[in-house]
Amino acid sequence: MVQMSPSPKPSRPAPVRTRTALQPPTPDGAPADPGRPPTASRLKKEQAILTEAETQFAQFGFEGASLESIAAAIGLSRHNLLYYFPNKEALYLRVLDDVLNQWLAGMEEMSHGDDPHEALRRYIRAKLRSSLERPNAAKVFAKEVIAGAPRYAGVIAERVGPVLKNDVRTFERWAREGRIAKVNFTHLMFIIWSVTQAYADQQAQFALLLGKPALTERDYDKAEELLCHLVLRGLEPGPAAPVQD
């Protein structure tokens, strides 16, 4: 009787390594180590990409800007840019995230203040300084919203909504304490956003009508002074206070 030797077990195929957004290829093609913190060099290059993307998205919008033009402006190839951001939408969303993070920090700080007048002054100043120092960032955000927020509506609803409601609750508490007049605080915030945003979106027109090549820091200081005056006078408690709808 012939003893049959056991047939060899089929060998397992080697696992296929896939690249994800968390593990982008390095410039030489090797996968990055997700557990290793980014180097200073990488962070510097990433910031250069974001700054240029902010400029081009502000000027041309999402559809008009291209990864090739963004990369070329900072001396990169499109392939090397994709090492940092996997596609144009990821880069665009990161620009919007950076803008929103800055704005939300100011909103959250306001709700932690104890003096409504000082809190509002700080917030108005921060929003106007953002329009002065990062006008392109404000323009990118405005273009997205004007278009109906096709790529960012969910983030706005998820992140801005709760912070706005918290600020409104803080205003309502100050109104109950008799420290400010009771008005529609949600629309108050909309008005502050609109006016401060205008100093980014319409800075060229404002400068032209003022007869100067560009708005100066002093122009933003004057806008801050007037806007604070109008808002704070409108919130003075008393019989002349606006009626809540």
Domain edges within the chain: 96-234
Write down the pLDDT at residue 36.
Answer: 73
Identify how many contiguous H helices and E strands the chain contains and give both numbers.
11, 0
State the CB neighbour count (10 A cutoff) for residue 129. 17
pLDDT of residue 29: 40
Nearest to 152 by CA among 138, 164, 141: 141
pLDDT given at position 31: 41
Residue 30 tokens read as: 């090797």
Contacts of 45 (CB under 8 A, 6+ apart): 76, 84
Nearest alpha carbon to residue 116 among 181, 52, 161 = 181
pLDDT, mean of each 10-residue run, the chain (245 residues): 45 40 43 68 93 97 97 96 96 97 92 90 96 96 96 97 96 96 97 97 97 97 98 85 51
Q: Are 167 and 111 in contact (CB under 8 A)?
A: yes
Here the tokens at position 160 are: 């801005």
What is the reported pLDDT for 17?
38
User: With helix as H, strand as E and coil as C, how does 130-154 read?
Assistant: HHHHCHHHHHHHHHHHHCCCCCCHH
**C-alpha distances in angstroms, 143 versus 5, 120, 138, 168, 193?**
73, 26, 9, 26, 15
Q: What share of the chain is helix, strand, coil (3-state, %, to 5)?
A: 65, 0, 35
CA 43 to centroid of chain Cα atoms: 18
At 68, list the tokens.
Answer: 């090739």
d(CA 113, CA 122): 10
Rounded to whole angstroms, how far apart are CA atoms 59 and 57?
A: 5
Q: Which residues on neighbouring strands pair with residue 31, listed in sequence order?
A: 25
Question: 96-234: what fold?
Answer: Tetracycline Repressor; domain 2 (1.10.357)
Please work out, in degrees rounded to the nearest 5, the angle formed at the alpha carbon of residue 167 by the alpha carbons of 164 and 168: 85
pLDDT of residue 33: 54
